[in-house]
Chains A and B, each alone.
Chain A
Amino acid sequence: MKAAKSTSAKKRKSVRKETGFAPDLVRTGEGIINPRIFTDPEINRQEMERIFTRSWLYVAHESEIPQPGDFVTRTMGDDPVIVWRGQDGKVRVFLNVCRHRGRRVCVEDMGKAVHFKCPYHGWTYGNSGQLISVPFFEGYQGKLDKELLGLYETPKIESYHGLIFANWDAKAEPLNDYLGEAKWVLDLLFGRTQGMEVVGPPMRWEADANWKLAAANFAGDGVHLFTTHGFRSALGLADKLEGERVSYRLTTAKGHASALSGFKGNYCMGLPEDLQAEMRRHLTEEQLRIMGPLLIIVGNVFPNLSFLSSGQHTSEEWGGGGDRDGLVSFVTLRQWQPKGADKMEVWSWCFVDKNASDGWKVASRESYLRVFGMGGMFEQDDMENWVDVTQALRGPIAKRLWLQYKMGLGRSHKERPIPSLKDVKDGAFSEDSERAFYRYWQQLMAQRV
């Protein structure tokens, strides 16, 4: 026992020496994490390299760029990219940096283009990335090879239910394997009908908070609901849905995590009958059985893509109604873009089922912006937490303490509550999702690129 301990201490020491990252800042086995990982600029610099240049990162939804030439500009970690559908219909992701002198070749958020001409010296690229023309090309006297200087493209791009992910790592495993059992949960939102469509461009805003606090919160922190969002109870809004709680928690080895919850009964996220009929054609019997009681589907695809669908009563007092029993739900994706250790930019999108009625689309979109997004009554208070935590942990004394992630450690669970999934447990309240997130984070941080 003693020998094993000293071997692992030795190992930690050597990781630290080789990579400059102290792996024991994260101790998921004990359920404790050191505050330094949220505030240290050096750790942030390392995670930009070690996490963001070799993870599958979400870049766009196919419904944002349906036609040849359509593009949106996004960021992958600190790097600006263009997600661009070529004339051949294929989507590619390019670094939005001119190969000549580094200016962004595309300065719009979205649009349609057959080529981009760099506003600096006029190098022009076609929408499969090729360098088409260079002003005064003859001046290079054959020393410039246009073939080699197309826009720099991510070696990997794959999609799942229209969610496009890209990866800078040519050796990355296929997206399918990376997502693993998280796909089963994504099916409940993005694969339940003929398809989802994005409602519009994202809301974007900045907060002085570390990105991981948001990602890990969405990974499955069900406990904060009762305090952070306590206004629900104070206004009597929480009492409308009650009963025997039904909950499942997914935690994967790749750091993805999700929590599904609801109450015994047939709520099915408040989806109207026409969408439920469509759903019965797209989901498996097992998925349909699990969907029945659900009112909340929340989670995080590692590293920084969170998803949420939440059903609530939008009675008169909320200022709008769904068309089914006063219950309406929305689907949002949000990305936490790090901008240094103590700042992030939030991108928040709303999605609706493509085939939904106009009435449902309006109600769903409104229920989203009432509670999430910049002005959302839930999200406002989430932001306040994460900004406050990031600021409060700056001091040397705060960094000597350890933050607690012990809930659910060693708890025993029912064997496979969802038989087809090995990574799912039952139970609503646990910090296992955060532990899964930070365990994989630590694993990547302890390996140099």
Chain B
Amino acid sequence: MNQEKDQLFKEFEKEVWLFLDNDLPKQKMEFWNKKLIEIPELKKLINYYRSISNLYKDSEEIELSSEKFDKMIDSALSKNTFFAKIKNFIQTLLSGESELAFGKMAFASALVIAAIVISIVSNRNNPVVKMTQTINEELLDWDADFVDEQIGKVGNLLKVTKDDEYRKYYRYNQSTSSVEKNINNINDNIKALKKEINNKNL
């Protein structure tokens, strides 16, 4: 029996808030109204909430004075007046009732157009040029020198394969091992080429 009561109490704890709002289905409302009479413990929950609620209400002493309230209302109304003025200005303009308003609008438009035209026509720095100008000149020169050097080396190697005299000269400037290696490589390549040509002729 106690377990049943406990279960009922737990269930009522969940539903008490909607019960207080009379927001449960009709059958549920009738059910709980009946149970509240049968089981007094259930009322404790409602009574406790009401006591907290009453204490809380008693504690509310801070009020806004009428004077402050009136000032705040005036402020709220005046803020909206500014936007209402803008709205009225536009409406007047569209209705064509005021020539002066039209004149002001035309002048303002002309200023805007002039600003746009000036910004288009005026010289601007090319951002790409500006960017390249920031690149280090030494860096650019170094790249060119490196490429030149490599081309020179390739040229020399080609000459070595064609010219005996140049081979001697080259041998003189390079160490023996690297010269012999290079010559041997080139010889091998030439032999391979000759062989290929012979095969094709066959």
Instruction: Report if A and B associate in a common complex.
Output: no
Binding site for B on A (CB under 8 A): none
